[in-house]
Amino acid sequence: MVKLGVNVDHVANIRQARKSVEPDPVYAAMLAELAGADGITVHLRHDRRHIQDDDLRLLRKQVRTKLNLEMAADDEMCAIAASVAPDMITLVPERPEEITTEGGLDVIGQQKIIRKTIDKLAPLGIKIGIFIDPDKNQAQAAQDIGVKHIEIHTGIYAKSKGEHQQAELHKIIKVAELADSHGLEVNAGHDLTYYNVLPIAEIPQISELNIGHNIIARAVLVGMEQAVLQMLKVIQRAGS
């Protein structure tokens, strides 16, 4: 059955809007775990627009399932990751002007820096993966570079409709099949909602979905535990 990783970045977004102490993303993570989440995901960005260094350190102490750190592949983030030792790292692209991550990391074009990051962190026993677009060439490059998992970017699928959405779903399926055949763990995420997640959850090769914004948006209205439970109920239909 597909697992659910809950991204709590947007809890920190609300807090940082007022430079306050609430809501606390660490507390939100604990509530998500109590509701049945299989892991917690955070993205520590260079501009610290949401998750802060202290959040990451506290999450490392408090998370009882799995802590997945999304980060750029550079020296600053490598040093932080090495000091915190999350359970897994997902390398993502990052641009200062973007509202949120807009696509997958170009593994083919950035092999040198990605290999440097892997060489620094893999000896620490941290499982390292890459966030990629649903592109077979990128999946093959990720496998060649030696990562343990990929996360397929589902943003275009999520924003599409009709035949275009079905075409994007087909791309995701094919990349998931290819990566799985090479022994990579396959995750997926970005812009997934209660209404579009099921076809992704039904892909047999996908083992985990990472979902943030839509869960946090609902949590504002119904509470964190209820929002997570509702998402779990939807994705668990994939196994029925």
Residues identified as active-site: 43, 70, 190
3-state secondary structure of 96: coil
Give 36's strand partners.
Answer: none
* Structure tokens given for 219: 């949590």
User: For residues 153 and 134, what is the distance between their CA atoms, to the nearest angstrom?
Assistant: 6
Rg (the chain; Cα; Å) = 17
Cα-based distances in Å from 92 to 70, 106, 112, 114, 218: 6, 9, 15, 10, 25
User: For residues 134 and 130, what is the distance between their CA atoms, to the nearest angstrom?
Assistant: 12
Closest CA to 50 of 8, 86, 79: 8
